[in-house]
Amino acid sequence: MDYKFDYTAITTNAWELFVGCLLTLQLSVAAIVCSLILAIGPAMLLQSRPNALAALPVKIFVEVVRNTPFLVQIFILFFGLPTLGIKLSPNVAAIVALTVNGCAYSIEIIRGGLESIHKGQFEAGYVLGLSRLQVFRFIILKPALRAIYPSLTSQFIFLMLTSSIASSITANELTHVAAQIEAVTFRSFEVYFTVAALYLAMSILLSAVASVVYRTTLTYPTR
């Protein structure tokens, strides 16, 4: 093998790669926060089961999103919606697609967490005169989050990695920046090996942040 490794393309474009990491984290965090907020209501609806008809749209949404490729979903938003007169910028389309995808998975995760809570805790809250929202906020939320936190963390890290697909619509994130650098330098191995290492570093960073949040907010206080 006479291939000679040359990481000059990396060192000379280090700032662009750093900015790409920041853009990836911005897209991912925005999608994570939005998907989590939007998933809580539907998850409560599925868990409460007021009637099958009310929960049917949520079930259809979850099944459709979870059983179709993310690439197709983002193409529908970016290339399909303009035919209806709705045009989204690449970054906005990426955030919306990631939010929709993450929301579908988060709904099922949160629903599972709510179902892990004993029904007696719900009944005790109602006996105390609390509304359904108050029962969820003051009695159910923390134990449910503690139960589902590892799954949510894994899902959000996966969502960050999935953001690389947004490069297919030229959204400003790490993979898109790397493709631009590779197109100019033709150092494919060096560029994408470095990008793989950067995604690994961001995954470890998100995992560390999630661990800190868990220890500071969801663990029981010790004496």
Mean pLDDT computed over 113-123: 79
pTM for the complete prediction? 0.89
One-letter identity of residue 106: S
Q: What is the mean pLDDT of residues 143-151?
A: 86
- Section 124-141 average pLDDT: 77
- Is 23:200 a contact under the CB 8 Å cutoff? no
> In the chain, where are the structural domains located?
8-217
What is the Cα 25 distance to its own chain's centre? Answer: 11
The pLDDT tens digits for 167-181 are 999 998 999 999 999
Domain 8-217 has CATH 1.10.3720.10: yes
Q: Which helix (H) or strand (E) holds 217?
A: helix 188-217
